[in-house]
Amino acid sequence: MTYLTKPKLHHPGLPTNVLGLTRRDYEGAVSTLCAGCGHDSISAAIIQAFFELAIPPHRVAKLSGIGCSSKTPTYFLGAGHGFNSVHGRMPSVVTGAALANRDLIYLGVSGDGDSASIGLGQFAHIMRRGVNMVYIVENNGVYGLTKGQFSATADKGSKAKRGAVNSDEPIDLVQLALVLGASFVARGFSGDKGQLVPLIKAAVEHKGIAFIDVVSPCVAFNNHPGSTKSYDYVRAHNEAVNRLDFMPHREPIEADVPAGGVQNVALHDGGLLRLRKLHLDYDARDKVAALAYLEAHRAMGEVVTGLLYVEDDPLDLHDAQNTVEVPLNALSDAELVPGSAALATFNAKLA
């Protein structure tokens, strides 16, 4: 970590987005994670994505559980409200928050211990409910803050820094999310910002739950030979199925995209996701095929990345709840309290 505080002055030549904000306006406090930590690259990608999307930082609620990854919401979007909640229970807190105010953007940041071990139950249920949020797991296969124990995503046979070999089967959160009904499922790599930033942007624009598993090497405890979550291993085994061009509705859409190699996915607000297929046989709308592809390539020791599954126009929790358009936290007394006359009628029926 660094002890230098960030200068408040901006370079006058910094590019601005349509809100007139620079990338610096999307930053947060200085990271206290280890130098070279994959999580810091993900924070940088989040900053870049929200800057490019020109979303006012204070309209984003950042929530997390406990662990290294869960510390990171302090390091981006400093003007937004953050909530570092209970280990493994970020999903329930986001669910309640999202119900209270449907107008904010919800970004949940979690880790593999937080989501696949202690929080697997809440992870599963938030996928089922379709909460409108971005759910990022910064996945390094290891407990960092408690110094190097395996997590539930560590591959069977992978070796810990001190030599122990993991004998348990790993939990693949991507496959779980698919099976449990997530409407947007992606995997990225903290070392590939070019792939990750568009994935985050697409996830933000997606209505419903958008899950991104980001393999994020732990330089302190899980970046050695024998680890399957190291920079070297993931670079060597990264199998990207597509690259994403994110096209918000504000920008014109090119008419002449190359046929066959492109898959277009409409967004609920009129925008478009354009997938440049690296594997022509991969169809990001086919859940069954995606599961088969993932399992086959996992068996080969490959880490499949890209936008793996997306549903065109999913319903979210607010649709299921049939809630009013006004955020519930903004309803007036008159809209909430039935009053004395209604109570008199109520009493009369029970007399």
Partner 1 sequence: MVKPLLRINDFVVKFANVNGSGSASANGLFARSVLKMGVPVAARNIFPSNIQGLPTWYEVRVVEAGWRGRRGGVDLMVAMNPETWVEDVLEIEPGGYLFYDSTKPLPPSKFREDVTVIAMPLMAICNQTYSDPRQRQLFKNIIYLGALSSLLAIEPEVIESLLAVQYKGKQPLQESNRKAFRLGFDYAAENLKPIGLRIERRDKVGSRIFIDGNNAAALGAVYGGATVCAWYPITPSSSLAESFAKHCEKYRVDPATGKHRYAIVQAEDELASIGMVIGGAWNGARAFTATAGPGISLMQEFIGLAYFAEIPAVIFDVQRGSPSTGMPTKTQQADLLISAYASHGDTKHVLLFPEDPKECFEMGAQAFDLADRLQTPVFVMMDLDIGMQDWLTDPLVWDDARQLDRGKVMTAADLDAGKEFGRYLEVDGDGIPYRTYPGTHPKRGGYFTRGTSKDAYARYTEDGHAYVENMQRLLRKFESAKELVPAPAVQRAAQPTHAGAIWFGSTGAAMAESLAVLAKEGIHLDQMRIRAFPFSDAVAEFIAAHEHVFVVEQNRDAQLKMMLVNECGIDPQKLISILHYDGNPLTERFVTREIAEKARLFNVTPLRKAAG
Contacts to partner 1 by CB under 8 A? 56-59, 61, 63, 73-74, 78-86, 89, 91-101, 103-104, 121-122, 124-125, 129, 318, 321-325, 328-331, 333, 335-340, 342-344, 346-347, 350-351
Question: Which residues make beta-bridge pairs with 213?
Answer: 137, 187
For partner 1, give the closer residue by CB, 106 or 233.
Answer: 106
Minimum separation from the CB atom of position 319 to partner 1 (A)? 11
The crossing angle, in degrees rounded to 10, of helices 90-100 and 120-129 is 30
For partner 1, give the closer residue by CB, 83 or 237.
Answer: 83
Interior/surface letters 318-347, b for 16+ CB within 10 angstroms, e for the rest:
beeeeeeeeeeeeeeeeeeeeeeeeeeeee
Minimum separation from the CB atom of position 53 to partner 1 (A)? 16
Q: Mention every residue, 6+ apart, whose C-beta is less than 8 A from residue 31.
A: 1, 2, 37, 39, 40, 43, 72, 75
For partner 1, give the closer residue by CB, 93 or 160.
Answer: 93
DSSP string of 196-239? HHHHHHHHHHSSSEEEEEEE---TTTS-STT-SSSHHHHHHHEE
The crossing angle, in degrees rounded to 10, of helices 38-53 and 193-205 is 50
For partner 1, give the closer residue by CB, 100 or 164.
Answer: 100
Minimum separation from the CB atom of position 48 to partner 1 (A)? 20
For partner 1, give the closer residue by CB, 4 or 299.
Answer: 4
Minimum separation from the CB atom of position 107 to partner 1 (A)? 12
| 279 DSSP 8-state letter | S
Question: Which residues make beta-bridge pairs with 136?
Answer: 109, 212
Question: Which residues make beta-bridge pairs with 107?
Answer: 62, 134
Give the integer Cα–Cα distance in Å for 53 and 19. 10
Minimum separation from the CB atom of position 28 to partner 1 (A)? 9
Minimum separation from the CB atom of position 340 to partner 1 (A)? 5
For partner 1, give the closer residue by CB, 78 or 111.
Answer: 78
